[in-house]
Structure 1
Amino acid sequence: MALPLVKGLSVRARSAIASSLAIAVVLGVVIVGFTWVMRWSAEGQTRELAQTTAEVLVDRVAIDGIAVVTQYDGESLVQVLDASDRVAAASSGAANLTVPNVTGPATIDGTRYYVVDQRVPSTDLHVRVARAYGDDTETRRTAQTVLVGVAPTLLVLVAILAWVATSRALRPVADIRREVEAIGAGDLHRRIEVPPTRDEVADLAGTMNALLDRLEAGSEAQRRFVADASHELRSPLATLRQYAELARAHPDDLPPGELAEVVDTASRRLQVLVDDLLVLATVAEDAAAPREEIDLDDLVLTELAAFRSTEVAIDASSVRPTKIAGQERRLAMVVRNLLANAMRHTTSRVRIATGSDADGAYLVVADDGPGVPEAQRERIFDRFVRLDDGRARDEGGSGLGLAIVAAVVEEADGTVVVDEAPGGGARFTVRLPAWTDA
């Protein structure tokens, strides 16, 4: 979650603030560490001096006697004690003090000392040295001076450097933004210049170009779709208008019922076209609807009932119980369109099969017609595509049946392909997600 103070600020400002805060944290850690190291060094020096003083005095007392302690004029407190821990001799200022019998830190009269107690060889005497720890006030003052004097300057310098570096890094982004803003609906052929830096900015430019590629392809597909739809709608509309003008100009020249038959045929074709166009327009919207458990075999047998009265033989012996996940209304249209396509182009027999395997559920519809040339097997699923051979324009077809199949199957996370059926003809294979109870 963004901090309230930086919310709404530019990337440059946030970068400068973040860099300054990071340096401030690092500088704080350095200062604390510097203070601790200096204190640790001073305390170590105190311990070494106390230890050295004790060793020297032990040797002197062993040679010259305890009188040498009274002559000691160093910074440490020195005492010579007997076996009963009574002071036998002491340096100036140490005679009336109680120095603990320890080796290590101790507090004497409110002051921290480091105490060393050593036995004088071949005697019952002990030399006890206490050296005061140095005052670390100067160390703290040094650290404060660095913090107050150097830190602000360093933070400002880091902020400026971060601002400048971020500005230079974002300059190509600003160039990309300006180029994108200049691209209008009619300029989708333009592309962003990809900088040779091979960094994230270059990746951004490449991503923008890929987006423009998709937008251009979508725009071109939309233009083709509108042109094709207009062409398909023009034919029945022209027929209706021609017969209407003929009936108005020469009402006696039309045989009884002919006008009604023409109007009925053309209007039915218009209705098929409009219905299929609406299906294609709403496939993406319906994809968000929840998927349900569907018995694909029951769906196939239900749709087959509409084709049983034809002279074409239908082989449904390979229809096996199969459960799929999807939307029944849309998938019924897939089955219906594939069956209608097979019926229009078969010679004598249509075979249909359902089942499931390791790759999921499948639906296969095959005919024994002229088949689909290999070079056209992907194009056949485009809108308003009709091939020049036996699958040319046929009565009642809108040219959108296989496009609807491809769109519905894709939105259902499935695939559809066409290849050559055994013995010749076209075989359409649809793969769909199998239903799982999990």
Structure 2
Amino acid sequence: MPLKFFLKLYLRLIGLTALVVVLCFSLFAGFNAVRQQYWQEAFPAPMLRWLAAVPAPQNQYPWLSGHHQLRVVEQGDLDVSPLVLERLGYGQVVALQTSLGWRLQVLNQQGQVLDFLFRDTYREVAESLALIALAHLNESLPEARDDMLASLSSTLGVALKPLTSESELPAEAVLGQVSDRGVAFYRQGDLSSVLLRLADGTLVKMAVPAPFNPWHWSVVLLLIVVAAAVLAAALLMLLRDVDQNLRAVESVAVRIARGEMGARVEESRSTLVSRLANAFNGMAEHIQRLVGVQREMIHAVSHELRTPVARIRFGVQMLEGSNSPEALQKQLDGIDGDIQELDELIDEILTYARLEQGGPVFSLVETSVTDIVRQVVGEQQLIRPEMVIEADIPSSSESWAMSDVEPRYIHRAIQNLVGNAARYASGRVRVRCQLDEDNCRVDVEDDGPGVPEEDWEKVFTAFARLDDSRTRNSGGYGLGLSIVRRILYWHGGQAFVCRSDDLGGARFSLVWPRKKAVV
């Protein structure tokens, strides 16, 4: 995997994680702010409505002014928004957060606003509820106490129950506190309670509703749903982009299958899919070239085969009219030569097809290039004794003669060039080796007419010839140089042609790396 693609994906994952964290934190804070506002008004509402129904709560419960700074304020003197006044008019409890704590307001029966201050709403409201219940329970008769407990529990939104066994008693510290103050707030696990001690010594336990929990299951569920939704949306966007690009590749593949060989996948921003598109386009170009080569080969082969086949047919017909042994032998020799030409043509075609359609299984071995050159020069000199074919190998190249090559195919490539040069040379062909630490270069020069510059690339095209001759002596088949270029391609090198400065004819050059790349 490319490092750039990995870093890009990694940064996207970090960004997505940061987005989920920020979004969840914002929702957590915002949702809990609304929940806390609602809880601050709902939890003390039963007590405040009880006090609002009392004509003079500060007189009946003297501790209210000291504990909660109770004020009785006219509505016109309140410095609050019209919305708060409207809510108070509907009988709702309003909670306002201040720097000192929460101010709780409620409208009493006289149209005045009772204003309380709670620094710790949960504990202070619980203790105030206990003090209210304690005052009324002490005033009730013992026989009416059960009814009073039920009435206070229903009205104040708590559960009042007398303790009847020692197992229900809290810790000694709580008992000591209730002896001093008459009430004691304490916790048992996740539950909160207040212990009351009546005037006759009876202990009453008041169970208080649970405090505000910012991690309520509904909050956790909301965060999970939001995080899952964000991740799902991100995954959907990623998969949609990948799917669109894959569909584009699929569409081009279908078009190529229908015969539109020029169809290509457009470039994409997606690194992952762009690599697939580049590989697909490379494959499509290779297939298009192979199909083109196949068509050209079929056309050229059908044309090349006609001449020798026609000569063989003509020779066979001439055999019927041959009366002398000499004429008969002449026709047989001609037929044999035509069959040999067909055999050579088929060999050239098979070699070119094998190289063009993926290449042979090359087994590169360390071999002396200079020895191969000398061998080719010696063989060609025997075939064409009328030519001067020489090898020019500087002493500096001998030390770098060993190269990783496929000896049989490099021999074939040099042989094709030397044979081609001898076919067109006036009388001299020279093969020069220039070898160094990195590269091997073999130049084949002749003193013939050369190759026009505008045809330097054309000569390497299959079945291309620069003259109209198709005789076995000078025309060839137009595959030799194509085979040379493919052999060099599979060696990681290249073949090209230019003009020879020394001999004046053509100079064909082969260049390839001396050592194969270490994979």
Settle same-fold status: TM greater than 0.5: yes
Amino acid at match of 1:221: V
Match of 1:429 among 485, 503, 509: 509
2:391 counterpart residue number = 316
Residue number in structure 1 paired with 2:294:
222
Check if 1:252 corresponds to 2:252.
no
The verdict on how the C-alpha distance between 1:28 and 1:277 changes in structure 2, with shifts beyond 3 A counting, is: same
Moved more, 216-225 or 379-388: 216-225
SS of equivalent residue, structure 1 residue 255? helix
The worse-fitting range, judged by mean Cα deviation, of 230-239 and 396-405 is 396-405
Q: Residue in 1 aligned with 2:473?
A: 395
Secondary structure at the residue paired with 1:386?
A: coil
Contact 2:441–2:510 (Cα < 8 Å) also in 1: yes
Q: Which amino acid aligns with 2:299?
A: A
Query: How far apart in 2 are the matches of 1:335 and 1:161?
Result: 60
1:360 aligns with 2:439: yes
Equivalent residue, structure 2, for 1:411: 490
Aligned residue for 2:214, secondary structure, equals helix
1:164–1:238: structure 2 CA closer, same or farther, 3 Å change rule? same
3-state SS of 1:343 partner:
helix
Q: Tell me, in whole angstroms, the C-alpha distance in 1 between the residues paired with 2:371 and 2:279.
A: 46
CA shift, 1:358, in A, is: 6.2
Mapped partners of 2:344, 2:430: distance in 1: 26
Pairing partner for 1:145 from 204, 207, 218: 218
Which residue is 2:362 aligned to? Answer: 289
1:434 maps to a residue whose letter is R
Q: Map Cα deviations across residues 175-202 of structure 1 (whole Å, 9 max, x no partner).
A: 663454244453335x4695xx974499
Deviation, structure 1 residue 26: 3.9
Task: Trace 1:163-182 onto structure 2 (pairs within 5 A).
Answer: 163=236, 166-167=239-240, 170-171=243-244, 173-174=246-247, 177-178=250-251, 180-182=253-255
Structure 1 411/393 Cα, relative in aligned 2: closer, same or farther at 3 Å? farther
Which residue type is aligned with residue 139 of structure 1? P
Residue 307 of structure 2 corresponds to residue 235 of structure 1? yes
Q: CA deviation at 1:161?
A: 8.0
Q: Which residue of 2 aligns with 1:333?
A: 412
Equivalents in 2 of 1:303, 1:165: separation in Å?
Answer: 60
1:265 corresponds to which of 337, 347, 354: 337
User: 1:236 offset after TM fit, Å?
Assistant: 0.8
Q: Which residue matches 2:456?
A: 377
Distance change (3 Å), C-alpha of 1:359 and 1:380? farther
Q: Is the Cα–Cα contact under 8 Å of residues 27 and 151 in structure 1 kept in the other structure?
A: no
2: CA distance, partners of 1:313 / 1:425: 14
> 1:302 pairs with 368, 375, 381, which one?
375
Tell me the residue number matched to 2:260. Answer: 187
Structure 2: tracts of 5 or more residues without a match: 1-11, 33-65, 69-122, 125-175, 181-186, 190-209
Q: In the aligned structure 2, how far is the partner of 1:165 from the partner of 1:348? A: 70
Higher relative contact order (CA 8 A, sep 6+): 1
1:40-89 CA distance string (max 9 Å, x none): xxxxxxxxxxxxxxxxxxxxxxxxxxxxxxxx98989xxxxxxxxxxxxx
TM-superposed CA distance for 1:31, in Å, is 6.6
Which amino acid is 1:236 matched to?
P
User: SS in structure 2 opposite 1:365?
Assistant: strand
Q: Residue 245 of structure 1: CA displacement?
A: 2.7
What 5-or-longer segments of structure 1 have no aligned partner?
1-17, 39-71, 77-91, 97-108, 112-134
| Superposed displacement of residue 379, structure 1 | 0.8
- AA at the equivalent of 2:305: L
- State the identity %: 23
Deviation by residue 1:134-188 (Cα, 9 ceiling, x = unmatched): x9872333xx321124533663586468548855874575366345424445333
Using the TM superposition, give the Cα deviation of residue 399 of structure 1 relative to its aligned residue in structure 2, in angstroms. 2.1
What is the alpha-carbon distance in structure 2 between the residues aligned to residue 161 and residue 416 of structure 1? Answer: 52
1:344 and 2:417 are equivalent in the alignment: no
Q: Is the 8 A contact 1:417 1:429 kept in 2?
A: yes
Equivalent AA in structure 1 for residue 514 of structure 2: A
Secondary structure of the 1:308 match is helix
Contact 1:386–1:393 (8 Å) recurs in 2:
no
**1:356/1:205 CA distance change after superposition, 3 Å:** closer
Deviates more, 1:373-382 or 1:146-155: 146-155
SS in 2 for 1:139: coil
